[in-house]
């Protein structure tokens, strides 16, 4: 059984993503990482599965570049 939150490392871009589950009815997953820019803000992705949350996060990251 997986425990949350947990950190996933992506070596190709040296990025660490924190995966968490948002409890409650219709529970969803969140994926968050820090922006590479000077602002240091968190960027979020949401999804019904871990992979969907990571994919949403990737779309958000593409929009910030």
Specify whether the CB–CB gap between 29 and 23 falls below 8 A.
no
Summarised one tens digit per residue, pLDDT across range 16-53 is: 999 999 888 888 999 999 877 667 788 999 999 999 99
Specify whether the CB–CB gap between 50 and 19 falls below 8 A.
yes
- So where are the chain's domains? 6-64
Q: According to the 3-state scheme, what is the secondary structure of the chain? A: CCCCCEEEEECCCCEEEEEEEECCCCCEEEEEEECCCCCCCEEEEEECCHHHHHHHHHHHHHHHC
Q: Rounded to two decimals, what is the model's pTM? A: 0.81
């Amino acid at each position: 059984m997986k425990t949350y939150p947990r950190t996933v490392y992506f070596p190709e871009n040296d990025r660490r993503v924190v995966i968490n589950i948002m409890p409650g009815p219709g529970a969803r997953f969140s994926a968050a990482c820090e922006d590479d820019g000077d602002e240091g803000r968190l960027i979020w992705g949401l999804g019904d599965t871990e992979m969907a949350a990571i994919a949403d996060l990737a779309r958000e990251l593409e929009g910030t570049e």
